[in-house]
Structures are given as structure tokens and as C-alpha cells.
Amino acid sequence: MKKTLIVAAALSAFAIPTHAAPNETPYALSAVHADFQAELERTARLPGEVGAAAGVTADLMAPHNAAQERLVLPLLGWADTVASGREAKMPDLPDRTRIEAELSQLYDRDVDLVTALVELYAAADEAGDAETARLAERMIWHQTSDVEVLYPAALFVEAAMRSATTDD
């Protein structure tokens, strides 16, 4: 049954457009956030240090993901439009200084979140919970890719959008 649901979900994802509508968080990113949050909340119900560490991490992750999905990730929804050169009514963009300030705050939260994930990994490893340790490891990779790839990409898209609106 679980495999059937996974296959159905994957096929339905390909049935929709492969890019986000402008000014929306791309589905692949919001889905991974929701999945990680659900896994953390499930793990937080475990007794002992693993559950406690997962609870702390879940409490940090929820507002962090909400902040990303409010500002940074919707910019990535414009990537296809900007890259293809298609005409579109561009949104009013926040001031670049504001975007960079919010990214700086997100980066600080990423550091806190990765620290909590490392603590979750250590607690899971100590308890012999390989599944939770692997979850923490995958989430650390995700947070690292946010900082190394998504934040710079969002700034790049924002700059291209700003350039497109001043070229008119």
C-alpha cells in the first residue's frame, strides 16, 4: 500500500507543471519541508533524548521554513519565467537590502537548526536509532544546500527580475 501511494504521488507530481507559478514556493521545496517537519514531529513523540532532541529541532524548523517560504523560495518560483525571457508582470520586489537582511537572519537560523540536527544525530547514534540518525543527516544536507544553493539562486533571480523591470 505504501509503495502504491508513493508511486501515485510521484506520478501526480509529474502531471502538474514542473515549475512553480510565479511568486509561489516551488512544490518540491515546500513538500520536502512538510515531509521533514512531519518526520521530526513523529520522532519527537519518542521517549528519551532522541524524542527531546527531535522536539527541539521541530520547534526550530517550523518557523524557519515559514520564513523561507514567505520570502526566499517564492523568488525561485520566478526562475523559469526569468530564465526563459517570457513576458510577465513582475511583482513589487522588496528592497534588496531587506532581502539580504532577511537572508542573514535565515542563515543564523540555519546555523541554529544544523546545531540542533547534529545534536539529534548524536542522540540517535548513541541510542542505536539508525533511521533517526539518517533523517538528521539528510536534513543537515538539505539545510546546507539552502545556504549554498537556494539563497544565492534566489538573489540571482531577484537581480534578474529587477533588471527586467528596469529594462522596460
pLDDT, tens digit, for every residue of 140-166? 999 999 999 999 998 998 888 888 776
Residue 157 falls inside a structural domain: yes
Phi, psi (5° rounding) for residue 39?
-65, -40
Residue 133 falls inside a structural domain: yes
List % helix, strand, coil for the chain (3-state, nearest 5).
80, 0, 20
Residue 45 falls inside a structural domain: yes
Please give the pLDDT value at position 2. 54
Tell me: the pLDDT tens digits for 85-113? 777 676 777 788 888 888 999 999 999 99
Please give the pLDDT value at position 166. 67
Residue 2 falls inside a structural domain: no
**Closest C-alpha to 158, from 68, 64, 72:** 72
Residue 6 falls inside a structural domain: no
Residue 18 falls inside a structural domain: no
Residue 63 falls inside a structural domain: yes
30 and 40 Cβ atoms separated by less than 8 Å: no
Please give the pLDDT value at position 38. 97
pLDDT: which is higher, 157 or 16:
157
Mean of pLDDT over the chain: 84
Please give the pLDDT value at position 133. 98
10 Å CB burial of residue 47 (0-12, 13-18, 19+) is exposed
Total number of domains constituting the chain: 1
Query: Which residue range(s) make up the domain with 73?
Result: 25-167
pLDDT: which is higher, 12 or 30:
30
Residue 12 falls inside a structural domain: no
Q: pTM higher than 0.95, yes or no? A: no
CA 149 to mean position of chain CA atoms = 11
